[in-house]
Structure 1
Amino acid sequence: MTKVEDARKFYAQLMAASAGSADPRLEEAFATVPREAFLGPGPWTVVAGRALITGNGRIMTPSADPVHIYQDVLVALDADKGINNGEPSLHAMWIGRIAPRPGEAVTHVGAGTGYYTALLARLVSPGRVTAFELEADLAARATMNLETYDNVSVVHGDAVTSDLPPSDIIYVNAGVVAPPVAWLRVLKPGGRMIFPWRPSPSVGLAVMVTRTDKGFACDPFMRSWFIPCVGASVARSAAKIPDLKRAASSRSIWLTSDRVPDSTATAVIGDLWFSSQAPGSGRKQL
């Protein structure tokens, strides 16, 4: 086993431990998908600590040896735009929570250069992954990086305004003030969506949504910060914006066309609202 293979194997073990998933395929996916294939030629710029906020803390790897990037670090893809490859342990937790299964259909919003798309593709094969990326350069790189993945289609386009395919999983890697209604509607029964909820500059939560026979259940399960999703990151002036405590208490999402916001509303944003009651709980209509 080479030094890089050894580093990748240990990295995969760390990611699986971070995820806390009982699915052994998650560790296998991290061990077999080469991260360096999605980062461009090294040396690479590693983004450390609070660099995403302060602009400091960027470190160049000492060489182009891929062993340097098999750590739980962010790697810059477009430093000027603040776009990076993502924190591997965070994605391991997200992927573990959303539990991809063979044969499922995935839509990946904000695919970047395709690293986490590749992991998802391995986990749902022979199911398909449709990967949306708005940035032309990143979409082109993702298309090239994923050309050997027969079950992946890369779309250079806007996932907010485009028609998403019916999906068992929607995996969102850009912060939204609220998920577009169209995303909820394409979730299949039992489908799951995970997204960074950013209703205000001071609130950033990762939210898991599950489509049940009684409605859309939601679980804000951790703090999370992503770059804004173009076209879905600004609330209308009439919106009811939650503070962190109220946002974290949300347990369901409703379309305003299906149900009028009531006294359980934690947030009302555009055409949907968040409630502190789970789907199927007693209704308190104002």
Structure 2
Amino acid sequence: MTPIAEARKFYARLMAANAGSADPRLEGVFAAVAREVFLGPGPWMVVAGNGKVETPTADPVHIYQNVLVALDADKGINNGEPFLHAMWIGKVAPKPGETVTHVGAGTGYYTALLARLVSPGGAVTAFELESSLADRARKNLEAYDEVAVIHGDAVISSLPPSDIIYVNAGVAAPPAEWLKALKPGGRMVFPWRPAERVGLAVMVTRTDKGLACDPFMRSWFIPCIGASLASSAARIDRESAARSRSIWLTSEAAPDRTATAIIGDVWFSSRSIGPS
């Protein structure tokens, strides 16, 4: 086994272990998808703390670890932390034949992993707002027939009916149209940032009783243009946000005393709606 193949195999094992997923395919897709293809030519700039460190050489062995790799350093855009994405992908549990919408696809690395997990029979629609990144993603994903890359704004676009919506940009609240796009049993994972100092990863599941909500870890992403920070008047604190157990559209149900956050036409509630 070559050094890069050995590094990729160990990296995949670490990702699967960190994900805590029961899906044995997860390790396989992390091993099969070459991360360096989606990063451009090395050496690469690795984000570390408040600074950046360049890899010693262009040998891809350097990027098969849990590091953030810059895609557009000036705009603060990176390839994402592999451990975090392994956890998120394990949590939304993509299955063959499902449809995925990826919001904030970057250059397509995690899009490729999602595509592998919904194959055969699945499809992925990948939105990327930055034109240069969308162009790179389209080229990087040419071999993935099940993927369509859209250079566009997912906040104002119509999302296709989706089993999974995978969001990689911080939102004050998910737009109502995203919630409506979830199929029965559909899952959405997104970085919730309703206030400057509040950052949580949230899993939403459409049940026959409504939209169940699970804030499951802290999370910080760059803002989603058009759906980022709420008004400072909202005064939402992390403790209240973390108590959220369901999400409602104000057009379908008026906020009540269980409301933990009311943002535009969406409100979060501490009321659990239970399983389907």
Q: TM-score, normalised by structure 2?
A: 0.97
Contact 2:212-2:274 at 8 Å conserved across structures: no
Deviations 1:213-255 (A, max 9, x none): 0100000000000000000003247x63420000000000000
Shift of 1:91: 0.1
Shift of 1:210: 0.1
Aligned residues: 274
Give the 3-state SS of the residue equivalent to 2:12 in structure 1: helix
Tell me the residue number matched to 1:261. Answer: 255
Deviations 1:71-92 (A, max 9, x none): 0000000000000000000000
Tell me the residue number matched to 1:121. Answer: 115
Give the 3-state SS of the residue equivalent to 2:204 in structure 1: strand
Deviations 1:79-126 (A, max 9, x none): 000000000000000000000000000000000000000000000012
Tell me the residue number matched to 1:284. Answer: none
Tell me the residue number matched to 2:47. Answer: 47
Tell me the residue number matched to 2:266. Answer: 272
Give the 3-state SS of the residue equivalent to 1:42 in structure 2: coil
Tell me the residue number matched to 1:244. Answer: 238
Tell me the residue number matched to 1:217. Answer: 212
Question: 1 CA distance for matches of 2:129 and 2:272?
Answer: 34
Letter in 1 for 2:29: A
Q: Which aligned pairs between 1:83-94 and structure 2 lie closer than 5 A? A: 83-94=77-88
Q: Which aligned pairs between 1:137-286 and structure 2 lie closer than 5 A? A: 137-236=132-231, 240-279=234-273
Deviations 1:26-58 (A, max 9, x none): 00000000000000000000011x22xxxx2x0
Question: 2 CA distance for matches of 1:280 and 1:115?
Answer: 34
In structure 1, stretches of 5+ residues that fail to align are 282-286
Tell me the residue number matched to 1:5. Answer: 5
Tell me the residue number matched to 2:54. Answer: 60
Tell me the residue number matched to 2:15. Answer: 15
Question: 1 CA distance for matches of 2:138 and 2:81?
Answer: 22
Question: 2 CA distance for matches of 1:220 and 1:151?
Answer: 30
Question: 2 CA distance for matches of 1:208 and 1:199?
Answer: 15
Tell me the residue number matched to 1:107. Answer: 101
In structure 2, stretches of 5+ residues that fail to align are none
Give the 3-state SS of the residue equivalent to 2:126 in structure 1: strand
Tell me the residue number matched to 2:131. Answer: 136
Question: 2 CA distance for matches of 1:236 and 1:78?
Answer: 28
Contact 1:236-1:270 at 8 Å conserved across structures: no
Identify if the C-alpha distance between structure 1 residues 98 and 280 changes in structure 2 by more than 3 Å, giving closer, same or farther.
closer
Tell me the residue number matched to 1:37. Answer: 37
Percent of pairs with identical residues = 75
Question: Aligned match of 1:70 in 40, 64, 75?
Answer: 64
Question: 2 CA distance for matches of 1:116 and 1:138?
Answer: 13
Question: 2 CA distance for matches of 1:100 and 1:78?
Answer: 28
Contact 1:44-1:64 at 8 Å conserved across structures: yes
Shift of 1:280: 5.9
Letter in 2 for 1:96: G
Contact 1:241-1:269 at 8 Å conserved across structures: no
